[in-house]
Structure 1
Amino acid sequence: MTTLNDLYIEEIQDLWSANEQMSEVVSDMADKASDSKLSDRLKTAKDGIDQHSQMLKSLLQDSDAEVKKEHCKGMEGLVKEARKHALEADMSGAALDVAIIAQYQRLCHYGIAGFGTTKAFAEALGKDDAVSKLDKALDKIYGSDEFMTDLAERSRNLEAMA
């Protein structure tokens, strides 16, 4: 890599890989959640993640870059942690839901960092269409993260203490 555009392309390729890894574990968490609001939101989030993956692929095409993923080791680690601390944990009910929420938010925060960085690169490169698409994706990720915080604070954390 020698240019900002090279960094931009590599970040998109990395994010695409991260999204695909995240999509799978979010689907598994949705299936295991006991709270219907949590399960429904995770299913909606999975659909959004898949849409973001398609958008990232289109950004690569728009940039005349090689349309390929660069395996994201950071997300690989987060997915392993999510499986260990939520999906494979010996918990159920509200306690499991709280663990799922915590792991989902870790995944989201990684996405926020990646999408935010990519948006900043796109802004510096004058890629206005990409900036707009990345900004919309960020809004959805922030919204999902906020929903999870609200759900945890208002119901699941309290029930998990019982």
Structure 2
Amino acid sequence: MKTLEDLFEHQIKDLYSAEDQLVKALPKMAQKAKTEKLKNAIEKHLEQTKEHRNRIEKICDELDIKPQGEKCLAMKGLLEEAEHFMKDDMDDDVLDAGIIAEAQRIEHYEISAYGTATRFAKELGHGDIASTLHSTLTEEYEADESLTEIAESRVNEKAKSNAD
């Protein structure tokens, strides 16, 4: 990589890989979730994630790059951690609290990645692409906030009370 444009292309391919991996992983997380509110939030984000992947594909078309070819190792690691966690035998409330924690780690990674890609797009004069990436960034923030609300709406409290 020699230019910011090269780095930007790498970031876009990485985001595509991250979203693609997430589309495959979110149904497993939804299936493991015990509370309906958490299950619904994950399923809603799955639909958003499919749209995020579609947006990246459109960006790739516009920039004449192939989205495949990169493997987002960060997302792979986050998803492996989540999968490993969900295999443990634990109380339902603790499981839901843990799923939220794992999902928020994923969201925080995506927030960072989309923030960086948005900045690069602006720097490179890709205003429309920056706007599209920023829309996704906003949705990632909203997903994170939704998970926080679910956690604070008694999931964490119930998980804590299991120790009493």
> What pairs up with 1:8-87 in 2 under 5 angstroms?
8-85=8-85, 87=86
Matches within 5 A, 1:1-162: 1-85=1-85, 87-162=86-161
Identity %: 35
Q: Which runs of 4+ in 1 moved over 4 A?
A: none
Deviation readout 1:58-91 (Å, 9 max, x if unpaired): 1111011234241111111111100111x21212
Task: Give CA deviations for 1:33-75 in whole Å, capped at 9, x if unaligned.
Answer: 1100100010010111111011111111101123424111111
Does structure 1 conserve the Cα–Cα contact (< 8 Å) formed by 2:16 and 2:67? no
Q: 1:26 touches 1:104 (CA, 8 Å); kept in 2?
A: no
Alignment partners' CA distance in 2, 1:3 and 1:11: 13
* Unmatched tracts of structure 2, length 5 or more: none
**Distance across 1 between alignment mates of 2:14 and 2:91:** 33
For 1:69 and 1:57, the matched residues in 2 are separated by 13
Q: Alpha carbon RMSD of aligned pairs, Å?
A: 1.0
Whole-Å separation in 2 of the counterparts to 1:97 and 1:119 = 32
Residues in 1 aligned to 2:8 and 2:143: alpha-carbon distance in whole angstroms: 25
Asked if the contact 1:34/1:92 (under 8 Å) is kept, the reply is no
Distance 2:95 2:66 in 1: 41
Mean Cα deviation higher: 19-28 or 38-47: 19-28
Q: TM-score, normalised by structure 1?
A: 0.95
CA deviation after TM superposition for structure 1 residue 6, in Å: 0.9
Letter in structure 1 aligned against 2:141: Y
Deviates more, 1:67-76 or 1:108-117: 67-76
Q: Which amino acid aligns with 2:144?
A: D
Distance 1:36 1:69, change over 3 A: farther
User: Cα distance, 1:113 vs. partner?
Assistant: 0.9
**Partner AA of 1:139 in structure 2:** T
Deviation at 1:10, TM superposition (A): 0.7
Q: Are the equivalent residues in 1 in contact too, given 2:30–2:39 (CA < 8 A)?
A: yes
Q: 1:101 to 1:31 in 2, by over 3 A?
A: same
Tell me the SS of whatever aligns to 1:101: helix
Cα deviation, 1:101-134, whole Å, max 9, x if unaligned, reads 0000001111111111100100001111111111
- Aligned partners of 1:99 and 1:23: how far apart in 2? 20
More divergent stretch after superposition (34-43 vs 146-155): 146-155
Structure 1 gap ranges (5+) = none
Asked if the contact 2:16–2:56 (Cα under 8 Å) also holds between the matched residues in 1, the reply is yes
- Maintained 8 Å contact 2:12/2:67: no
